């Protein structure tokens, strides 16, 4: 629903741009990890965008569908500290897809009914990564001591990216064949890596449940196509009136 809604928002309100929802039926065959494609109608450039909705915490930025990132890091050992080597890794074929990832995550705090559209700064990550550490199963990284210590909960190893102060930036999770979607790919953490995000909503904004919209969905799912067409006319008229109002303002 969010993918369809965002695509329509761009179509209706972003002048000189259009968009299309690529559809889940194409998911496994897509070149990128996009959910929608934004089209610059002036230059005809197409921008693939991946939309995500996650709670405030771990956030997957790339699935690493070819499982190349983790094996590549393994070739360099368990503690990678030379800036030249880190740059070489980030410019390698395994990490090249990160240059074309456009992720727009909607992060929410359900208990507080707050949300935030936060975009991860890949360029900042690349320039400020100072150390890449392997954290094996049964261990964790302690930022206070900057040491790897015993810890519970981890069943697969990761490579953690740290800045000069030893603070968390992001991680690459285990990429083997037995790993599931939550145990592989390129991840970060919205709480622990807050300095590497830019908010498009200028911070957290509150929201409430729109029961009227829920009722609309209920009716739409149980009505005919003819009813949908009549409703579309009413809704489009309302959007046109809103666009005229925004133009005057």
pLDDT in tens, 137-151: 999 999 999 999 998
> Do 34 and 114 belong to one domain?
no
> Which pLDDT score, from 0 to 100, does residue 24 have?
56
pTM for the full predicted model: 0.85
> Do 69 and 169 belong to one domain?
yes
Spatial distance between the Cα atoms of 146 and 141, rounded to a whole number of angstroms: 7
> Which pLDDT score, from 0 to 100, does residue 130 have?
98
> Which pLDDT score, from 0 to 100, does residue 28 have?
45
Range of the domain at 31: 1-51
Of the candidates 51, 66, 87, which is a domain's last residue? 51
> Do 194 and 74 belong to one domain?
yes
> Which pLDDT score, from 0 to 100, does residue 182 have?
80
What DSSP string runs through 145-156? TTEEEE-SS--S
Spatial distance between the Cα atoms of 32 and 182, rounded to a whole number of angstroms: 18
> Do 79 and 147 belong to one domain?
yes
146, 166, 90, 81: which is closest to 123 by C-alpha? Answer: 90
> Do 127 and 42 belong to one domain?
no
> Do 218 and 197 belong to one domain?
no
**How many structural domains compose the chain?**
3
> Do 233 and 202 belong to one domain?
no
> Do 40 and 134 belong to one domain?
no
Which long-range contacts (C-beta less than 8 Å, at least 24 apart) are formed by 108-113? 108/53, 108/54, 108/55, 108/56, 109/55, 109/56, 109/204, 110/55, 112/206, 113/206, 113/207, 113/208
Question: Which DSSP state fits 208?
Answer: -
**Residues of the chain falling short of pLDDT 70:** 23-33
> Do 29 and 105 belong to one domain?
no
> Do 85 and 198 belong to one domain?
yes
> Do 176 and 227 belong to one domain?
no
> Do 25 and 114 belong to one domain?
no
> Which pLDDT score, from 0 to 100, does residue 183 have?
84
């Amino acid at each position: 629903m969010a993918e369809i809604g965002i695509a329509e928002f761009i179509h209706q309100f972003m002048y000189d741009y259009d968009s299309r929802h690529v559809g889940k039926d194409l998911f496994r065959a897509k070149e990128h990890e996009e959910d929608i494609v934004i089209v610059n109608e002036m230059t005809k450039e197409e921008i693939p965008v991946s939309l995500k909705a996650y709670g405030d915490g771990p956030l997957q930025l790339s699935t690493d569908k070819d499982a190349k990132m983790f094996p590549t890091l393994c070739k360099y050992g368990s503690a990678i500290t030379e800036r030249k080597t880190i740059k070489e890794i980030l410019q390698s074929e395994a990490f090249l897809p990160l240059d074309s990832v456009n992720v727009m995550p909607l992060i929410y705090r359900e208990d507080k009914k707050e949300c935030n559209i936060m975009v991860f700064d890949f360029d900042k990550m690349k320039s400020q990564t100072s150390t890449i550490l392997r954290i094996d199963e049964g261990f964790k990284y302690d930022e206070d001591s900057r040491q790897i210590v015993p810890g519970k909960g981890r069943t697969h190893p990761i490579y953690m990216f740290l800045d000069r102060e030893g603070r968390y930036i992001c991680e690459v999770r285990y990429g083997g064949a037995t790993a599931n979607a939550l145990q592989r790919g390129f991840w970060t953490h919205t709480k622990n890596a807050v300095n590497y995000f830019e908010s498009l909503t200028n911070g957290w904004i509150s929201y409430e449940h729109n029961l009227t919209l829920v009722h609309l969905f209920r009716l739409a799912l149980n009505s005919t196509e003819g009813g949908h067409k009549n409703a579309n006319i009413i809704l489009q008229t309302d959007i046109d009136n809103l666009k005229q109002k925004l133009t005057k303002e």
